[in-house]
């Protein structure tokens, strides 16, 4: 059976939506929106919120009675704004985590090339207490390869090239900005308990919050890295799941942010990125409650009570 879907014009796309029970009061407005936003992203990405499960089957999709294109637009616009605002605060957390970790490492290992020496990382026995056995060597080699490439590779940045030519070496704090959040997470995983503790203390001091354990910091990396990538790749955010078991939701990500931001930063994040972004959804209570549940938020959290 040929399951390939043929190209559809904008008018044909709108006809399909209407044939499935979606009201489109203003086709011109809907057409302009689909010319600016990919049909697959808008419709396939958010239709599940509006499909009638009792009337859908394997070959036919039917929207709930009363569903309008404006509802689809509302959900898509909400998630886009949520994504844009959320990633700004994840980037703030990333900067704080990177600064604290690099500082902690360089405090302990001040030599310019110390980050390329395997002896300056956690011993295998200690690493395998909390990681799958047999992964230590490959993970360490992979990290060192990335660091070596950032220092010596053809794609190194202009400022790294300049520093290398002028001083003959490139310390970790110079290439730090070249590290991705994922690189940084791998770097943290391969640190000794002592350096992890110091990094966590630096973060707690910079936020003015309470004590942060190395385990909490590790969990923040594992939560914030995938959510940053979700935002960066314009994927759906409100219903995203992360973690090995796929059970880490937006609310869990927000809890990690709370540890990595100071109180003012976090309060601003929650009032604007969460409560403020969700406010326009309240006119459609069913949609509001569904999205809130998908995000893992308690009613009092999303409504600011």
Mean pLDDT over residues 240-244, rounded? 94
* Rounded CA separation 181/114 (Å): 20
How confident is the model over 246-261, as pLDDT tens digits? 999 999 999 999 999 9
What SS3 state is found at 287?
Answer: helix
pLDDT(209) > 70: yes
Range with the lowest mean pLDDT among 28-32, 40-44, 153-157, 262-266? 153-157
* Rounded CA separation 83/91 (Å): 12
CB 22 within 8 A of CB 67: yes
Contacts of 207 (CB under 8 A, 6+ apart): 96, 259, 260, 261, 262, 263
pLDDT band at 1 (very low <50, low <70, confident <90, very high): very low
Q: What is the pLDDT of residue 302?
A: 61
CA dist 238 → 44, 78, 82, 293 (Å): 15, 9, 8, 9
Mean pLDDT over residues 84-102, rounded? 98
* Rounded CA separation 44/27 (Å): 19
Angle at Cα 244 formed by Cα 242 and Cα 250, nearest 5°? 20
How confident is the model over 101-124, as pLDDT tens digits? 999 999 999 999 999 999 999 999
pLDDT(304) > 60: no
List the structure tokens of 86: 């959320």
CA dist 260 → 80, 121, 137, 189, 254 (Å): 23, 24, 30, 17, 10
How confident is the model over 146-188, as pLDDT tens digits? 999 999 877 788 889 999 899 999 999 999 999 999 999 999 9
* Rounded CA separation 271/275 (Å): 5
List the structure tokens of 42: 């808008």
Percent of the chain surpassing pLDDT 70: 97
Q: What is the pLDDT of residue 155?
A: 74
Supply the mean pLDDT for the chain. 94
pLDDT band at 305 (very low <50, low <70, confident <90, very high): very low
pLDDT(2) > 60: no
* Rounded CA separation 252/247 (Å): 9
pLDDT band at 12 (very low <50, low <70, confident <90, very high): very high
Q: What is the pLDDT of residue 154?
A: 76
For 192, other C-beta atoms within 10 Å of its C-beta total: 16
Mean pLDDT over residues 272-301, rounded? 93
* Rounded CA separation 35/7 (Å): 14
CB 227 within 8 A of CB 253: yes
* Rounded CA separation 198/192 (Å): 10
pLDDT(96) > 70: yes
Q: How far apart, in Å, do the first and last CA atoms of the chain sit?
A: 54
pLDDT(27) > 70: yes
Q: What is the pLDDT of residue 3?
A: 64
């Amino acid at each position: 059976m040929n399951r390939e879907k043929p190209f559809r014009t904008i008018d044909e796309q709108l006809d399909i939506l209407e044939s499935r029970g979606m009201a489109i009061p203003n086709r011109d407005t809907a057409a302009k929106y689909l010319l600016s936003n990919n049909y697959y992203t808008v419709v396939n990405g958010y239709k599940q919120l509006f499909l009638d499960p009792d009337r859908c089957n394997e070959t036919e999709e039917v929207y709930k009675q009363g569903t309008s294109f404006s509802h689809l637009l509302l959900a898509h616009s909400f998630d886009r704004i949520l994504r844009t605002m959320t990633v700004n605060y994840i980037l703030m957390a990333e900067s704080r985590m990177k600064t604290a970790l690099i500082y902690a490492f360089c405090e302990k290992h001040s030599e310019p090339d110390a980050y390329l020496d395997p002896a300056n990382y956690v011993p295998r026995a200690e690493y395998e207490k909390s990681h799958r056995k047999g992964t230590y060597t490959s993970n360490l080699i992979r990290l060192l390869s990335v660091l070596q490439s950032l220092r010596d590779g053809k794609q190194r940045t202009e400022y790294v090239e300049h520093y290398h030519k002028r001083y003959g070496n490139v310390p970790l704090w110079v290439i730090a900005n070249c590290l991705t959040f994922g690189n940084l997470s791998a770097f943290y995983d391969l640190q000794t308990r002592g350096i992890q503790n110091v990094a966590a203390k630096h973060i707690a001091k910079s936020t003015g919050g309470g004590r942060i354990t190395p385990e909490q910091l590790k969990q923040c990396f594992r939560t914030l890295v995938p959510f940053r990538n979700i935002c960066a790749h314009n994927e759906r955010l409100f219903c995203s799941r992360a973690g090995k078991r796929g059970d880490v939701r937006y609310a869990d990500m927000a809890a990690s942010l709370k540890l990595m931001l100071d109180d003012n930063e976090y309060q601003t994040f929650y009032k604007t990125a969460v409560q403020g972004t969700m406010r326009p959804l309240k006119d459609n209570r069913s949609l509001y409650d569904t999205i809130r549940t998908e995000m893992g938020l308690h009613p009092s959290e999303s409504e600011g009570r």
